[in-house]
Structure 1
């Protein structure tokens, strides 16, 4: 692989060799007179060392500017759109740096708009979901009447007749008692299923940190996982971003329980000045991230949720080495949002 610094150094070295060769040819032709024939060797070595030092210094200065540009490009690729190239007196790099800053500002504006549209879509979906919840509650009320209510009525009727049945026919009374047990078990299962459907969203009336403090350890305990949690949130995220992040975490944890066979899960969520980084890691069986994974609907959903807010999802996994899901969501200052409104 070529490197600008060493390529430039080689040019300086080649220049030194040509200069030394010309000096030697001049000595041989008599155009350059050297009293001691051995002195030309010192001259040649001196020229080569001088060109190497100058070439290295020049190459290092240019390479530093290129490395800075490369580092900022990597930051942008990770979702940090707040990076900017500094001013430089070098006119060659000043033009490149200026174009880079202009390009990132344009990308930042588009990403900000994309995030606003994504948040708007999330809020609209939430409003539609609220209407759906009302309809679902009506359906559950009908289900309660048609299932659990009727089961309880049947249990009540059987229990009312049981004492007299035991008095007249003990054997038949025992059969009624078994039916009572079966009906009560059925009613209990139906009631549990309906209660599960009626459970409210964990984020209602809570911040993301408060919801995770309650939900994450409970979920780990219920599924036999050892969970480690590291939250560093400033509390400045919009409701839509918190909602999407919570759904991504739920999706990631469900994938771990279903597919990974993991025993340890690590959740990290950090809010910086310009981006939010979520990381969920497990010590499960992993998979080859270079190959399409069957049943990867959850991974696709997480990517779509991140991209909807202008972010990106990174899946890191290897067979036998666990899996890490890393989400980068850009953050924009309130003042900057107001510029586009």
Structure 2
């Protein structure tokens, strides 16, 4: 059956239909049209009609094959974008059946392997969380506490001293006044920068909250601390596993820190959606952007975000250009947990 309806046989049927139609038209003309009374114009038109019949059959055949190729092409694009669950409908009488079946088999194999990779990544991330990341968190806590107790207080003392200088300096009020104003502004700016540094060093943990709950609390505070106008849009259909939530939160923190450090942005959008087949995270800023050709792949913390996404079988990409802002898009495949008993059945 598969050989009977292969593409070459189907094309031969189309050509056969074209030939039969052409012969039918010629036979009709031979039997019923008196050629002696027909002028050259009508003969030419009849010849064109015969050619058009063949072209029409060829167009129908080409359109049929083109539609099937387009379906395959769209499925391949979806697969390349991380949508691993789509399958092509297979018709037993379709000449594209072997191709569609091969694609479905490849997509199923890729989904299974990516699922296994994600499970292994979750286990590894969980183990790392309980060892390396715990030490990093504790060290950040210590640094944040030391900075707050020493440098931040010293900067505040400088600010207070600079504010009192106008009362003790009187020999050159004009110059002293300008200098004092500069000192006050500089110290205030330094203090604000230090608060931002402390907020970055102090680890933010989920502490039993969902990722959405943690972002609703942390994101506005972070934006206010860095004078950013923020927009938060989080929509998930089902609970996310603890490991994936943790990795996504770390990616968000890394991306936000990069924006504050490099982008010179005034507005940022944070979006996290569950498409049903994958989790899609987007960080969009209106900063100065950059040309990818001028930036190494390891710059701006991109390698860290990419590695965290790859641990879960996902990917991270950056869309940017000079003066056009930057978009960081992370896709993590979503898999439904199946009970062992159900799987065995």
Q: Same fold (TM over 0.5)?
A: yes
2:203 matches 1:203: no
Find the partner of 1:113 among 87, 111, 116: 116
Following superposition, the deviation at residue 53 of structure 1 comes to: 2.2
1:128 aligns to what?
Answer: 131
Q: In structure 1, how many angstroms separate the alpha carbons of the residues matched to 2:228 and 2:66?
A: 48
Find the partner of 2:283 among 261, 280, 283: 280
**CA pair 127-73 structure 1, distance change in 2 beyond 3 A:** same
Contact kept, 8 Å, 2:229 with 2:266, in 1: the verdict is yes
Give the 5 Å matches for 1:70-149. 70-129=73-132, 132=135
Contact kept, 8 Å, 1:202 with 1:215, in 2: the verdict is no
2:330 matches 1:331: no
Q: In structure 2, how many angstroms separate the alpha carbons of the residues matched to 1:255 and 1:233?
A: 25
1:37 aligns to what?
Answer: 39
Following superposition, the deviation at residue 80 of structure 1 comes to: 0.7
Following superposition, the deviation at residue 90 of structure 1 comes to: 4.5
| SS at 1:333 equivalent | coil
Give the 5 Å matches for 1:1-341. 34-35=35-36, 36-38=38-40, 39-129=42-132, 132=135, 199=202, 201-293=204-296, 296-335=299-338, 339=343
Q: Deviations over 1:48-97 (max 9, x none)?
A: 22222222222111111111111111111111100101012444310000
TM-score norm. by structure 1 comes to: 0.70
Following superposition, the deviation at residue 234 of structure 1 comes to: 2.2
**CA pair 131-307 structure 1, distance change in 2 beyond 3 A:** closer
Q: Deviations over 1:9-33 (max 9, x none)?
A: xx98xx99xx89xx8xxx9xxxx98
Task: Provide the alpha-carbon RMSD of the alignment.
Answer: 3.6
Q: In structure 1, how many angstroms separate the alpha carbons of the residues matched to 2:228 and 2:200?
A: 24
Number of equivalences: 273
Q: Deviations over 1:278-301 (max 9, x none)?
A: 111111111122443386151111
**CA pair 212-133 structure 1, distance change in 2 beyond 3 A:** same
TM-score norm. by structure 2 comes to: 0.69
Unaligned runs of at least 5 residues, structure 2: 1-10, 154-194
Q: Deviations over 1:183-216 (max 9, x none)?
A: xxxxxxxxx99x8699553311110000110111
**CA pair 130-276 structure 1, distance change in 2 beyond 3 A:** closer
| SS at 2:327 equivalent | strand
Contact kept, 8 Å, 2:137 with 2:203, in 1: the verdict is no
Contact kept, 8 Å, 1:260 with 1:284, in 2: the verdict is yes
**CA pair 294-66 structure 1, distance change in 2 beyond 3 A:** closer
| SS at 2:115 equivalent | helix
Unaligned runs of at least 5 residues, structure 1: 1-7, 152-191
Moved more, 228-237 or 94-103: 228-237
Contact kept, 8 Å, 2:258 with 2:301, in 1: the verdict is yes
Contact kept, 8 Å, 1:232 with 1:271, in 2: the verdict is yes
Following superposition, the deviation at residue 264 of structure 1 comes to: 1.3
Q: In structure 2, how many angstroms separate the alpha carbons of the residues matched to 1:70 and 1:333?
A: 26
**CA pair 72-204 structure 1, distance change in 2 beyond 3 A:** same
> Which protein shows a greater Rg?
1
